[in-house]
Structures are given as C-alpha cells and as structure tokens.
Structure 1
Amino acid sequence: MKVAIYNLYWSTYGGGEQVAAAAAEHLLNAGHEVVAFGPEPLDIEMTTKRLGRDLGRCEYQRVTNDNEASEASSTVDVFINCTYLSSAIPRSPRSMYYVHFPGVPLTNRRKVSSTLSTVGHRILSPFASLPGPLEGVRAGFARRIHDVSWAKRYTVVAANSAFTAEWVQRLWGVDADILYPPVEVVTQPSTGGHLVMSLGRFFDRSFGHCKKQDVLLDAWELIEQRSALHDWSVRMIGGADGASRDYVLDLRRRALDLRAEIAVNAPRDLVLSTLGQASIFWHAAGFGEDPSTHPDRFEHFGIAVVEAMSAGLVPIVFGAAGPSEIVRHGVDGYHWSTVDELIELTELVAADSAEWSRLSQSARERAQQFSDAVFGERLQALLK
C-alpha cells in the first residue's frame, strides 16, 4: 500500500510534525510504501535528532499548497493530511485528516458575512462570464464563504482528543475518531523529591494560547506565604522566543524572591533530570478562559502531562479540555478550577506519602495508554 503523509511544516519539528513522523515510521515498519508530501525534502538526520524518528526509507514529493496536495493524492492508496488548518480535498481511495484543532468559532459578523456571500455567489455562479466589476464581486463572495464541505470527503477524520473531536463536530459537522498523539514515556520512575514541576512553552498572554505560568507562580507565592511546604520548591521549564521576552523576564524577577526556578530553552537533559526528581506536576492552560468563544486557548491534548505521569509525577491540572481526559480525578491525579483548589490539592498530596504513592503508581499505568505502541495500533486500525 502506498501512503502519502502531507505536512507543510516538516522542518519546524513541532507537535504536529511529531504525529506525522510517528505515523510515517509506523507505516514504514508495517511494510507500506510511504511518501512525504511537503515543500522541501526531509532532513533525515535532523528528524531523527529532533523527533526521534527514522524516516530514511521515506520517499519525498514536492507539494507546496493544498491544491498541489489534492492533485498529488490521486497517485497514492491512502492520503493522510497532517497539515494544521489545511482544506485539501483528498482524491485517493482512502484518506485520513488528523485534526490538531479545527479553528475557532465564527463571530456573529463572520456568520452573517458567510451567509450573505453564499447567497450572492449562488446568484452569480450560473453565469460563465461576467463584466469585470461583477467578476470581482463573485470572487469576493467566494472568499468570504465559510465552506467546510471538504472535511466530509475524508474517509476518516481523527482528532487528538475528545475535546478536539467535540469541536470538529461543532465547527465542521463531522464525527471524528480519537487518535491520541504518541508520547515518549519515561521508563525510570521519579525518586519523589520535594519538587513541583511544570513543563510547557512560555507564551505571552497577548498571543491568546498561554500556559499560564504566571498563575502557577501566584499559587506558589501563596504557598510560601502560608509557610506550607517549607522545604519544597518549584521549577518551570519551557521554550520561549523573543516575542515572549517580557513575560519571561517578569516571571524570573518574581522567582528571585521565591523557591522557584524559571528554566527557559533548557536542554532535554534538564527536563529528564527534573522528571526524575519531582513529585508533583502542575498544569494551568485554559484557566480564566471561555471555552465557548476561545477553545483554542485550552490544552487540546497535553503531551507534557502524559510524559510527567509516565515518570510517576502526580498531575494536578486545570480541569478542562485535554488534561481532564488524561487525568482521572482522584484516580491518578487531580483537577482544579480555582487557585485555592490548586494550593489545597498540592498540599494534600505533598503531606500524604501514601496518597502520593497510590496516585503515582496509577499515573504511571495510565500513561501507558498514550504510548507510541498504542498510537501505532490505533492508526493501523483506523486505516483498515
């Protein structure tokens, strides 16, 4: 079977590319012929280094946009679209669209514009040719139509979580199967030191999607003021670029007076060593946001949450979207909805070694359900 995997951003080595590369490697290992569709050839060495995937046997075909991808898909048996917000129409016998997130709800103004444009385009579409100004009007109508009919052309639509699948149904009117991203589980359990950890990119709040490390630092400051967990500390690790410089600097200034460390663009070794030392994992993405208007500001899955659980850290996560699916409240971690709850649950777990041990063991077992092996099995089942 010849399978094409379409991704316009292979060279960014992000979460979407991790899924695309994992799918390619699993299909190659299953004996299928795999071709990567993208704007530039795969850098095999860098893909191995950054994503941990060997795609040396993968073929390549240059594709620079959705129209080219649609045309090229007619040459393969299965077309897998892993490009974020793509609207490529598949022409292969079988196809899969992997949804990282389907976008954001239309504003009322945008809904009205789309409806009126649909009517206007329908009126003008019977005419083969129109005078110049009217042709421009017809083209303008076409651009403003919110058309998601292409989504129904895929054999399988797969979402990275039930949260994402719910929004696929709301925004695209399509039922999606769930295919959780593969997570590299940590095999060595944590020693359970007096350390709280968070792991996630530092985004300034102005970008919308923010991991809310400032909220976590607020909570930690209150913990220290209460003289609770006096021999504990917190370490927040994540990447950042210049656009979030002020956000990071503010966190670092505040951390100077606390038992807190802000580790920016830290090497992977520090991540692994922290996973081997910490007892508790904090996560706050989505806190203070409205899911009905800004679902994009929530954690759609939560790879870092699973990674921490695989090391035996007890996750205490904001109880919404992806992390609330991963973590079963009271079984392998806890959900919180207010900063006070976050503090209370953290103090509870830190003070009760038996409770920590119970949750830690359950968290490690739960993490195995999101492993690379499970991803491969589920992928093969969906493509049958």
Structure 2
Amino acid sequence: MFDAMVEAFPGADLLCLWSDVEDRYPGRELTETWLARTPLRRRKALALPAMVPTWRGRRPGGYDWALVSTHLFAHHVSFDASPADFRKYVYVHSPARYVWDPELDTRGAGVLPRTVGPALRALDRRRAREHHAVAANSAFVRERVRRAWGRDADVIHPPVEVERIQAAGAWRDRLSPAERARLDALPRPFVLGASRFVPYKRLDLVVAAGEAAGLPVVLAGKGPGRAELAARAAEASVPVTVVDAPSDAMLYALYQEAAVFVFPAVEDFGIMPVEAMAAGTPVVGLREGGTSETVLDGTTGVLLESFASAASLAAAVTAAADLDRAACREHAQRFGRRTFDDRIRTWTGAASTAGEVARSSAAASGELDV
C-alpha cells in the first residue's frame, strides 16, 4: 500500500519506521526512524511498545498535509512547524488489532499488552481526532474504525496487481523450465489455496474443501505452519501438493490453471481472492470480511456462512468451477492499480489544487515490513 502511495504522489517526502529493502524507491529519499538503527528492527513484536512514542517524536515538518498508511500506530505521526490548517489523511488497514481486537492478534494476549491496553486505546482514540479524513480499505474495516475511534471513514479498496496479471496472457509461458515441470506434474482439475502458512489462514479447510469435492488440492506459500500443513496433507483422502515459496509467475500460473481458489480466512480485505479472479479463477470464500465485498456470489464465486459442512463445501466447489471465468477477469478490474490511484487522488483532492504534490508541502508516512 505504501508503495502505491509513493507512486501516486511522486513529489511527497517519505517516512517510515524502517525498510528492509535497500534503495526501495530509486531517486526518492526515504527517511527511517531511530528504530532502523537498532536490533528492534529484527524483532518486530518487541518493537511494538516503542512505536507509539517514535511516531509522535519531534521531526522536521512544515508540511501542508500528510498521507498516512497505518495498521498499527503510524496515524499518530506528528511534524514540527505544521501550519494551523495542516491536514492528515489517514488510510487504515485496521486499528491496531492487538490493542482493539486481541482475539485476532496473539500479540495482545500477553500480560503487558493487556495491562497497557486501556491506556493505549484511550490514546489511540485521541490521536484519531486529529485526522482531517479517514479512509478504510474495506467496509469491514470501516465498521472497526467506527467502533474503535468513533470516526466515520470512506472506503477505498487497496490496489491489486490486476493489470499485471492480465497483461501476461498465459503465465505458464513465463515460468522457468523447473517451474513448468512442477506445474505440469500437478493432477487436474485441482483446488488451490495460497497464503502464508499460519494458523489463521485456515489452509486446512482448503484441504477439507478438496476432500469434500473429491478433487486434488494444491497449497502454495511459505511460513512457520508448513510442518502442520504437511501432516494434514499426508492424512488427506485426496492428493495434496505443497508448492513452497512460489515466484509471482508460478503463483499466477497456479491461479490460471486451478479449477477454483478456496479462501477460508476472514481478512480485512484479502488480496489473493482478487488476484485469483484477475486470472479468471472463481473463488470459494466466507460471507464475512473483505471477501464478501470483492467476490460476487454466484457470478465470480460462491460465498458460504461457514466451512463446517462437507456437503455445502462440495456444492460450493462444484458450483464455482462452473462459473464464467471471463466474468471473473472483468470484475477484478474494479480493484486494479489505476482505480486506486484515481480514488486516492480524488480523496486527497482538497490538499492540492493542481492534483499533484509539491515536495515542500506534503509527506507520505506509513508502516513498512512491520
């Protein structure tokens, strides 16, 4: 998201806690905070308590306005010498989950977070009153913003690489020989699941969907839950193949060649279901969270109340596989980079009469790699 903001406003000064990518924005100066020079940048969970005062610390300013991307505390950011009419536009991926929704983030389960939680919530809500305008990445998050901060928000869906996915034609043609051999060896038709291998993504339910429909399953990604998924795959009643750390080209080729993409997680938005639709693949997901806003039930996928029933899973996979893949590709275009650029510029239009940002007047700040 921060990358997209940087591209949309090429004249803005840039600020982040730290960046793990060297020369992330060639030709642009990216200012990192003091945390970038400490071991805390390698221990993100331990860095969390330092983030609040770091964002609020004194730093050069004089800006007319700032555009902030936040999922933790970036929206607390302040600048010296700001004019009285300084405007802070805040794009919210979620109010800090471990503060406001600890059941969704295990970082909020410890003694220290629970102890300081009430004070952090009060401070977070107070800082939210400073925002000139708030945008949420989905209606699902908009409700969370209203509950947490007492603020309304516009909904601007984040950018998905729709144009890139659709410009390539057949992604199998862009694979290395080893990748193509790997793709060709997969049993067909197959059900695809892809994400980080962590428990809340519920990739075990992708296996359950394949078992219910009697179809092979492919799981793509990487993460600490790999061993657990491999154990689940070994005991499955259908063939399950794990594709570790696929390249973008391999992931896009998997999207294109899957019968359906199954996404059991409850996400604030959910990039991968949109990527799958951009590749022409229908989605089976939940009628909750961002998926309910991006997938057209009965047109580009099938939405379920839960994944508990094998019979409903089987019916959903079968119905989704029969949907029009061209309709999936067309619908996904609503979530492309150009659409986002137009909306974010329109949303901040009051900040710049020329529709462009003068370097001396604006800043973009946000959380990278946190």
2: CA distance, partners of 1:167 / 1:334: 25
2: CA distance, partners of 1:319 / 1:270: 28
1: CA distance, partners of 2:93 / 2:120: 24
- 1:284 shift after superposition: 0.5
Aligned length: 288
**Which of 56, 65, 75 is equivalent to 2:26?**
56
Structure label with greater radius of gyration: 1
2: CA distance, partners of 1:281 / 1:217: 12
Residue 156 and residue 249 in structure 1: after superposition, are their counterparts in 2 closer, same or farther (change >3 A)? Answer: same
Amino acid at match of 2:317: T
Amino acid at match of 1:237: A
- Structure 1 residue runs of 5 or longer lacking an equivalent are 1-18, 48-54, 108-139, 205-209, 225-231, 286-297
**Which of 122, 125, 132 is equivalent to 1:146?**
122
**Which of 334, 339, 346 is equivalent to 2:317?**
346
Residue 102 and residue 69 in structure 1: after superposition, are their counterparts in 2 closer, same or farther (change >3 A)? Answer: closer
Residue 77 and residue 332 in structure 1: after superposition, are their counterparts in 2 closer, same or farther (change >3 A)? Answer: same
User: Does structure 2 conserve the Cα–Cα contact (< 8 Å) formed by 1:182 and 1:371?
Assistant: yes
Provide the residue aligned with 1:293 in structure 2.
Answer: none
Amino acid at match of 1:248: L
Q: Is 2:255 the counterpart of 1:272?
A: no
Amino acid at match of 1:345: A
Q: Is 2:260 the counterpart of 1:302?
A: no
Provide the residue aligned with 2:210 in structure 1.
Answer: 220
Amino acid at match of 2:122: H
Residue pairs, 1:51-90, within 5 angstroms: 55-64=25-34, 65-70=51-56, 71-72=58-59, 74-86=61-73, 88-90=76-78
So what's the TM-score if we normalise by structure 1? 0.68
Identity %: 25
Q: Is 2:198 the counterpart of 1:203?
A: yes
Residue pairs, 1:317-332, within 5 angstroms: 317-332=285-300
- 1:141 shift after superposition: 11
Aligned residue for 1:157, secondary structure, equals strand
Residue 219 and residue 189 in structure 1: after superposition, are their counterparts in 2 closer, same or farther (change >3 A)? Answer: same
Residue 73 and residue 161 in structure 1: after superposition, are their counterparts in 2 closer, same or farther (change >3 A)? Answer: farther
1: CA distance, partners of 2:89 / 2:60: 11
- 1:82 shift after superposition: 2.2
Provide the residue aligned with 1:97 in structure 2.
Answer: 90
- 1:24 shift after superposition: 0.5
Residue 281 and residue 245 in structure 1: after superposition, are their counterparts in 2 closer, same or farther (change >3 A)? Answer: closer
Query: Cα RMSD between the aligned structures?
Result: 2.7
Residue pairs, 1:88-237, within 5 angstroms: 88-91=76-79, 92=82, 93-104=86-97, 105=100, 143=119, 146-147=122-123, 148-185=125-162, 186-187=165-166, 188=168, 194-204=189-199, 210-224=200-214, 232-237=215-220
User: Does structure 2 conserve the Cα–Cα contact (< 8 Å) formed by 1:73 and 1:79?
Assistant: no
CA deviations on 1:265-309 (whole Å, 9 max, x unpaired) are 233332122122123111101xxxxxxxxxxxx211010000000
User: Does structure 1 conserve the Cα–Cα contact (< 8 Å) formed by 2:252 and 2:279?
Assistant: no
CA deviations on 1:144-168 (whole Å, 9 max, x unpaired) are 7733111010112121111001110
Provide the residue aligned with 2:368 in structure 1.
Answer: none
- 1:333 shift after superposition: 1.6
Amino acid at match of 1:219: A
Residue 183 and residue 240 in structure 1: after superposition, are their counterparts in 2 closer, same or farther (change >3 A)? Answer: same
User: Does structure 2 conserve the Cα–Cα contact (< 8 Å) formed by 1:279 and 1:312?
Assistant: no
User: Does structure 2 conserve the Cα–Cα contact (< 8 Å) formed by 1:39 and 1:63?
Assistant: yes
- Structure 2 residue runs of 5 or longer lacking an equivalent are 35-50, 103-115, 172-187, 350-370
2: CA distance, partners of 1:219 / 1:40: 38
- 1:220 shift after superposition: 1.8
Residue 67 and residue 281 in structure 1: after superposition, are their counterparts in 2 closer, same or farther (change >3 A)? Answer: same
